[in-house]
Structure 1
Amino acid sequence: MGARPHPHSDRACSFVRRRFRVVPCLPRCRRGADGADPVRAARAYFGLQALAGAAWWVAVFAWPWVRQETLGSLDPVAVATLDIPLFVAGSAIAAFGVRWAIVLSTAWTTVVAVALAIFATLTGEAGWGVLLMAASAGASVLAACLLLFGRVPTGWMIVGPFAFRAAESVTATHRPHHVFATFRQIVVFWGLFLVVIPLVIAFLERRWMLALTFPLPVTLIGALLLVSASALGIWSAVVMSTLGDGTPLPSAMPNRLVIAGPYRFIRNPMAFAGIVQGAAVGLLLSSLLVVVYAIAGSLLWNYAIRPLEEADLEERFGPDFRRYTAEVRCWVPSIPKSLSA
């Protein structure tokens, strides 16, 4: 027979959790299909962040070049007075699931990242410190969401104008209305995500003294990729708006499932094109951060937006959409069985 738990053990654990507001482990039903425990991973992240923060402070006081590249002219003693207890110690305590430490260390990391970015933009110093703290802030927010909510909330991304709604159905004679609406969307989205934001990122990269110079062949490859991906995006948009009786915009989604044109070979040709476009713009601007921005956008779309979009499509198109997803891959172009047979 297995050992019987002590009669007071459950009450003691409950007292500790209430007293220190410790986050309990999620039940096994919430674990991933591969057995991964998101809460354990989030706690491990805070533990690693505490160790990395401590190592960084040792390096700051041991090597002047580390201090110069990450703090610039800021007084390291004054910064350490606040950062060591709030960032290093706070992250260490957060690794045990203590709620106030999770909130405190995440908030402090975010504030430091923003403040350091402003300082680096004004002075041209501490560029590497901005990158390190920005990465820490983003990862801390994700880990905090897993610990506090058991998941990363994504529903807020599909509210208001971005909520999934089918477009108003039109007759064939009025179908150009969807085409014109689609191209208006392209102008706005491409202008914002492929011009304005990359230019701002490239400017900050240079201001923070982090810019690299790419060789001419890389720039030419970027131009070729941009033209090719843009052509794919336009082709996908035309097929979607003419055959789907709708637009790619979530607030005016197609009324028919489109499996023609590029959609016969890849489920998300417009998203695929957009990611390649973003990376290509980074190559054209000689900006590694813009390339990272494109990769981050692909991860956001794949893990936050795509599941919501595909759930909506499955609800509206049912077995047809399930057969489509079984035959056509999401990201890797392939020849479907119906065409290769």
Structure 2
Amino acid sequence: MQALAGAAWWIGVLVSPAVQDATLGTLPAAAVAAFDVPLFVLASAIAAAGVRWAAWLATAWTCLVAVGMAGYATVTQLAGLGAVLMLAAAAASVAACLLLVLGRIPGGLVTRGPFAFALAPLGTTRTHVARTARQIVVFWGSALVVAPAIIALVELRWRLRLDAPPIVQALGVVLLLAASALGIASARALSTLGEGTPLPSAQTRRLVVAGPYRWVRNPMAISGLAQGVAVGLAIGSWMVVAWAAAGSLVWNHVIRPEEEADLLARFGDAFADYRDRVRCWVPRTPTA
């Protein structure tokens, strides 16, 4: 897919000045193609046949170009679309290379260090609620204020800003309030019923199947995704919406399997039964 997309992109550059301007700016197309066609398009095609050195080559080149394009777009305010496409290609290249070389995405690497799974220290309900409140302030402040502000500034610098109608921004505010309410309700259930917090490094000592967890297995993740999308809509930033969507993919395919394996190891049949009865993403009426 990457090889075909790269070939299609270069055909577009050659036949359309608009595509060249949007994705390359003033960079000389022939000089860039001399490197990119063999190192990106051809190397990706060879990697698709299972050749590992080609996968490493294509991934390294794609990441290098992505960093270069991001810097170029930031400094010159040109080729912002090209920077976005290359950043997406770099992420896809890394994932594809890991799948080819290791046969899987090593999600365990994400749940190490400060994010390693660990039980919350023993404490009173009040202690767990206070810890959860501090986590919410830090993580929501980082994910819903600081990160979107930086992304919106980059979007503006890269001249990719789109004007959102007021109705979209209003819907974003409504969605943000609803998603935040869900997040608070879920966090409350974890801290008051589970004797822990939402943070993996201070997770619950009890399996929580009440509150929002009666309806869906991952209400905190749903809340976070909806909050990210809502902030993007509220400030009129499509890149923030895309960032939230990308985060949901990472969580679902990298972090969730590790988290559910840990829950299965700790709670055994109780979690297996809960997992079989309650859906991961789509809420439904709870069964007895």
Name the residue aligned to 2:63: 110
| Matched residue count | 288
Once the two structures are superposed, the pairs formed by residues 121-136 of structure 1 within 5 Å of their partners are 121-136=74-89
Whole-angstrom CA distance in 2 between matches of 1:165 and 1:271: 19
Name the residue aligned to 2:219: 269
Larger Rg: 1
Query: 1:218-239: per-residue Cα shift (whole Å, max 9, x none)?
Result: 1111100101111111111112
- Shift in Å, 1:105: 1.0
CA RMSD of aligned residues (A): 1.3
Name the residue aligned to 2:206: 256
Name the residue aligned to 1:326: 276
- Shift in Å, 1:241: 0.5
2:117 alignment partner, SS class: coil
Whole-angstrom CA distance in 2 between matches of 1:154 and 1:306: 9
Query: 1:96-145: per-residue Cα shift (whole Å, max 9, x none)?
Result: 22222111111001110110011001111001111221221111111111
Equivalent residue in structure 2 for 1:71, among 12, 24, 38: 24
Whole-angstrom CA distance in 2 between matches of 1:304 and 1:251: 17
TM-score (normalizing by structure 2): 0.96
Once the two structures are superposed, the pairs formed by residues 82-231 of structure 1 within 5 Å of their partners are 82-170=35-123, 174-231=124-181
Distance verdict in 2 for CA 1:323–1:54, change over 3 Å: closer
Whole-angstrom CA distance in 1 between matches of 2:179 and 2:170: 14
Q: Does 1:49 align with 2:2?
A: yes
Query: 1:41-62: per-residue Cα shift (whole Å, max 9, x none)?
Result: xxxxxxx322332332233232
1:158 alignment partner, SS class: coil
Whole-angstrom CA distance in 2 between matches of 1:257 and 1:53: 47
Query: 1:145-173: per-residue Cα shift (whole Å, max 9, x none)?
Result: 11111111111111111111111223xxx
Name the residue aligned to 1:279: 229
Runs (4+) of structure 1 moved beyond 3 Å?
none
Name the residue aligned to 1:296: 246
| Paired amino acid for 1:154 | G
Q: Does 1:246 align with 2:196?
A: yes
- Shift in Å, 1:313: 1.1
Whole-angstrom CA distance in 1 between matches of 2:45 and 2:39: 10
Whole-angstrom CA distance in 2 between matches of 1:227 and 1:52: 39
TM-score (normalizing by structure 1): 0.81
Whole-angstrom CA distance in 2 between matches of 1:300 and 1:55: 27
Greater Cα offset, 279-288 or 206-215: 206-215
2:120 alignment partner, SS class: coil
Distance verdict in 2 for CA 1:51–1:265, change over 3 Å: closer
- In structure 1, runs of 5+ residues without a counterpart are 1-47
